[in-house]
């Protein structure tokens, strides 16, 4: 059984809290500290962003984070080193990578997955790799061999036909994109969010976690009322952006924010 | 979707776009399949191409250049004489009509040199559609005339300041806009790139260049040319020119890509020479990238060639060696820009100047009594300020 499946079946929480941040922003060693802080604050699953130069599914906050990260020399060795350090801090919390497909392709799928698994990663989210591509099918098979998960995105524009089709090659949880557009904080969500999530739950036998735009404890609490998990990226990245020059201050602000969100969805 | 399915050219192409865009891409594909067979659509497209764009564009015998270069006879396919001054309008008109059939009221585009932005703003004005053009802030500066024209036509220019602030970043930003507004907006992709079905749609719309050139040449000379040449950034004018000749095995085909300042990463946009297979902006193609799969900034004196990727069909034609792609440096392109201007009385776009440089070599190799057609993809008015600036710096 995959680590993520085990976690959702454990009944430890009503709704999972899945924070995201980009590795290497503002530097790799601070990333280790931020990761530990977020884990201590109550993350149920931690999503780590591997920076890619052209993040087309991301809004301005994460774009800037990626740009800051890439000012450091990017290498997979460094990514895996940092990931492992975060993993060793709290080994029971599953780590997931979010990245675009080109870096994985270049690293080589099997080499990437072996190293990712060795560093404590149990699943992947790849926004620019649709499930109905040869590469996604290959990746899915390779992940299964390692008991790792391929987490697909479903959006308000995804048709019923596509949602049914992706069931075969989807594990872990579904990353439900709450609204049209790219990542970034929003004030309002689409009116039919609750119904869409309910429809997904009925159609796919996987936990449905909602992301894109969630930032406040109120929003988190509201969506956690009907989603199996909530994913927060840009709001966390903004804390790092605003305080990252002073790592200890950033850790304090992060800890405070994470604790508040965790409390709001318990 | 697999590599033997529509949308692939050998191993290249496909649809690697965020899920939010998939529905729109599928709608575009099915609409286009219907429209391709629709007499009404074909008639309407033909009407605008003839009466608005000014097609067919002439095939001009370049007598003075032929003498100057002392080799094969040089013919020019005059896309510079189209309305708005480049081949880009062929695609913009076609896609605007597709958008109209789909009931989309808003169109967006990315642009490098500004010619595609200008073409999109033009069709936006003509069809009364809200138009937004994403343009790198650097390109807004170096292609200021086009930027001003776009605004004058009533379109909104959104300068993109991220990264190198050129075409790559403008493309990413246009994709983000589309993700947000996908139900009301059509993204008029400007080159034969992007997720399926864009490379096929743009190729089909631009293939009128090669079809006309082939039949015009045949009518005048009762045979086919020995060679054809076009410049390649994303590669829409080139694929449009090449497509009608691909099956004519005895017609040699050459593509000219931007060798920029030299072979080091960041100095050029020579995707077909230095690129490696990868995934960018929704397609699998050859891309200039580092060993970790991060995209390396591209450079060219010509804003229209300044892109680290290339249309997937070109990647395939390069792999199968049907097309011989060659690099041309900034210096070589500039020299040819000046030479063609003075000898033939035609100011070519800096992009096209790259094609002229390759053509000069090919013409010499072919020798006399042979024929070569160059796709003159656009006129160089937009480049005059930039060329004068560079020449000024050179003379210091």
A125 Cβ under 8 Å from any chain B Cβ: no
A216 Cβ under 8 Å from any chain B Cβ: no
A200 inside domain: yes
Clarify whether residues B226 and B319 are in a common domain: yes
B321 inside domain: yes
Show which of B158, B180, B195 is a domain's final residue: B195
What distance in Å separates the CA atoms of residue B360 and residue B344, rounded to the nearest whole number? 14
- Domain total for chain A? 1
ipTM: 0.95
Q: Do A53 and B295 touch (CB under 8 A)?
A: yes
φ/ψ (deg, to 5) at A225: -65, -25
pLDDT string in tens for chain B (396-residue length): 555 577 999 999 999 999 999 999 999 999 999 999 999 999 999 999 999 999 999 999 999 999 999 999 999 999 999 999 999 999 999 999 999 999 999 999 999 989 999 999 999 999 999 999 999 999 999 889 999 999 999 999 999 998 889 898 999 999 999 988 988 999 999 999 999 999 999 999 999 999 999 999 999 999 999 999 999 999 999 999 999 999 999 999 999 999 999 999 999 999 999 999 999 999 999 999 999 999 999 999 998 899 999 999 999 999 999 999 999 999 999 999 999 999 999 999 999 999 999 999 999 999 999 999 999 999 999 999 999 999 999 888
A197 inside domain: yes
Clarify whether residues B101 and B135 are in a common domain: yes
Show which of B130, B163, B195 is a domain's final residue: B195
Residue B330 has a pLDDT of 97
Clarify whether residues B60 and B40 are in a common domain: no
Facing A181 at nearest CB: one of B179, B281, B295: B179
Hey, what are B374's tokens?
Answer: 């160059």
Placement of tokens 């045979």 in the chain: B223
Closest CA to A210 of A189, A238, A239: A189
A68 Cβ under 8 Å from any chain B Cβ: no
Closest CA to A178 of A162, A189, A170: A189
Residue A229 sits in a domain whose CATH number is 3.20.20.70
Clarify whether residues B339 and B203 are in a common domain: yes
A226 inside domain: yes
Contacts of A162 in chain B (CB under 8 A): 22-23
B3 Cβ under 8 Å from any chain A Cβ: yes
The yes-or-no answer on residue B88 being catalytic is: yes
Catalytic residue, candidates B77, B88, B168, B382: B88
Residue B327 sits in a domain whose CATH number is 3.40.50.1100
B131 inside domain: yes
Strand arrangement of the beta sheet that strand A174-177 belongs to: A149-151, A121-125, A95-98, A46-49, A16-22, A229-232, A208-211, A174-177, A153-154
A165 Cβ under 8 Å from any chain B Cβ: no
B316 inside domain: yes
Facing A102 at nearest CB: one of B23, B179, B278: B278
| Residue A49: partners with Cβ closer than 8 Å, 6 or more residues away | A20, A21, A22, A23, A62, A65, A66, A97, A98, A99, A233
> What's the pLDDT band for A266 if we cut at 50, 70, 90?
confident
A69 inside domain: yes
The yes-or-no answer on residue B377 being catalytic is: yes
Contact predicate B328/B357, CB 8 Å: yes
Contacts of A180 in chain B (CB under 8 A): 20, 179-183
Clarify whether residues B242 and B338 are in a common domain: yes
Show which of B161, B195, B229 is a domain's final residue: B195
A5 inside domain: no
A7 inside domain: no
What distance in Å separates the CA atoms of residue A216 and residue B235, rounded to the nearest whole number? 46
Residue B378 structural domain: 54-85+199-395
Residue B134 bridge partners (DSSP):
B110, B158
Clarify whether residues B173 and B313 are in a common domain: no
Contacts of B24 in chain A (CB under 8 A): 157
Closest residue, chain B, to A60 (C-alpha): B162
B382 inside domain: yes
A1 inside domain: no
- Sign of CA pseudo-dihedral A47, A51, A54, A59: positive
| Contacts of range B262-269, beta carbons closer than 8 Å, 24 or more positions apart | B262/B329, B265/B290, B265/B296, B266/B296, B266/B297, B266/B298, B266/B299, B267/B299, B268/B298, B268/B299, B268/B300, B268/B327, B269/B233, B269/B298, B269/B299, B269/B300, B269/B305, B269/B306, B269/B307, B269/B308
What distance in Å separates the CA atoms of residue B19 and residue A154, rounded to the nearest whole number? 7
Clarify whether residues B314 and B352 are in a common domain: yes
B180 Cβ under 8 Å from any chain A Cβ: yes
- Domain total for chain B? 2
B1 inside domain: no
Clarify whether residues B302 and B335 are in a common domain: yes
Clarify whether residues B314 and B326 are in a common domain: yes
Residue A244 structural domain: 15-265
Check: pTM over 0.90? Answer yes or no: yes
B2 inside domain: no
Q: Do B1 and A159 touch (CB under 8 A)?
A: no
Q: pLDDT of A141-200, one tens digit each?
A: 999 999 999 999 999 989 999 999 998 999 999 999 988 888 777 777 777 889 999 999
Hey, what are B46's tokens?
Answer: 């033909």
A10 inside domain: no
Q: Do A102 and B287 touch (CB under 8 A)?
A: yes
Clarify whether residues B248 and B336 are in a common domain: yes
Clarify whether residues B104 and B213 are in a common domain: no
Clarify whether residues B260 and B370 are in a common domain: yes
Closest CA to A206 of A179, A178, A170: A170
B3 inside domain: no
């Amino acid at each position: 059984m995959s680590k993520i499946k085990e976690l959702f079946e454990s009944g430890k929480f009503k709704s999972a809290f899945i924070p995201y941040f980009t590795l290497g922003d503002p530097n790799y060693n601070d990333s280790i500290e931020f990761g530990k802080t977020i884990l201590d604050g109550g993350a149920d699953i931690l999503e780590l962003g591997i920076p890619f130069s052209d993040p087309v599914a991301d809004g301005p906050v994460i774009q800037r984070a990626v740009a800051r990260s890439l000012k450091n020399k990017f290498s997979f060795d460094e990514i895996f080193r940092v990931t492992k350090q975060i993993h060793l801090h709290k080994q029971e919390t599953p780590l997931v990578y979010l990245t675009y497909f080109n870096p994985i392709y270049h690293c080589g799928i099997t080499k990437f997955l072996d190293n990712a698994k060795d560093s404590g990663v149990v699943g992947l989210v790849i926004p620019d790799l649709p499930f109905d591509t040869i590469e996604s099918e290959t990746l899915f098979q390779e992940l299964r061999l390692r008991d790792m998960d391929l987490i697909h995105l479903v959006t308000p524009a995804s048709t019923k036909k596509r949602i049914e089709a992706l069931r075969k090659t989807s594990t872990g949880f579904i990353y439900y994109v709450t609204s049209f557009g790219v990542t970034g904080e929003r004030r309002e969500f689409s009116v039919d969010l609750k119904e869409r999530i309910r429809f997904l739950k009925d159609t796919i036998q996987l936990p449905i976690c909602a992301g894109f735009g969630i930032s406040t404890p109120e929003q988190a609490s509201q969506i956690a009322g009907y989603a199996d998990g909530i994913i927060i990226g840009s709001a966390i990245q903004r804390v790092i952006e605003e305080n990252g020059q002073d790592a200890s201050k950033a850790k304090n602000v992060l800890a405070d924010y994470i604790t508040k969100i965790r409390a709001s969805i318990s | 979707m697999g590599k033997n399915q529509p949308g692939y050219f050998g191993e290249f192409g496909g649809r690697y776009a965020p899920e939010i865009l998939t529905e729109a891409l599928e709608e575009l594909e099915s609409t286009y399949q219907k429209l391709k067979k629709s007499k009404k659509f074909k008639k309407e497209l033909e009407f605008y191409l003839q009466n608005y764009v000014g097609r067919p564009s002439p095939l001009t015998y370049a007598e003075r250049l032929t003498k100057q270069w002392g080799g094969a006879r040089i013919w020019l396919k005059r896309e510079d004489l189209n309305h708005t001054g480049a081949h880009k309008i062929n695609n913009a008109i076609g896609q605007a009509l597709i958008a109209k059939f789909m009931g989309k009221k808003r169109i967006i585009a990315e642009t490098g040199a500004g010619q595609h932005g200008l073409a999109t703003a033009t069709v936006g004005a003509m069809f009364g559609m809200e138009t937004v053009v994403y343009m790198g802030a650097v390109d807004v500066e170096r292609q200021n005339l086009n930027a001003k024209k776009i605004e004058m036509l009533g379109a909104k220019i959104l300068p993109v300041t991220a990264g190198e602030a050129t075409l790559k970043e403008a493309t990413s930003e246009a994709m983000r806009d589309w993700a947000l507004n996908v139900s009301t907006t059509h993204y008029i992709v400007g080159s034969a790139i992007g997720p399926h079905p864009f490379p096929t749609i743009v190729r089909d719309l631009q293939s009128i260049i090669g079809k006309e050139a082939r039949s015009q040449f045949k009518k005048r000379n009762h045979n086919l040319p020995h060679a054809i040449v076009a410049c390649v950034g994303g590669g829409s004018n080139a694929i449009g020119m090449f497509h009608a000749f691909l099956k004519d095995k005895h017609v040699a085909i050459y593509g000219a890509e931007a060798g920029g300042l030299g072979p080091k990463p960041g100095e050029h946009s020579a995707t077909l020479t230095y690129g490696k297979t990868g995934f960018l902006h929704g397609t699998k193609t050859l891309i200039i990238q580092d060993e970790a799969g991060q995209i390396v900034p591209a450079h060219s004196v010509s804003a229209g060639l300044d892109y680290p990727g290339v249309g997937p069909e070109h990647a395939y034609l390069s792999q199968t060696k049907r097309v011989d792609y060659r690099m041309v440096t900034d210096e070589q392109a500039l020299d040819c820009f000046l030479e063609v201007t003075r000898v033939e009385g035609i100011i070519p776009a800096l992009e096209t100047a790259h094609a002229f440089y390759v053509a000069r070599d090919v013409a010499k190799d072919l020798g006399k009594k042979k024929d070569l057609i160059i796709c003159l993809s656009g006129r160089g008015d937009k480049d005059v300020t930039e060329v004068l600036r560079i020449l000024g710096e050179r003379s210091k």
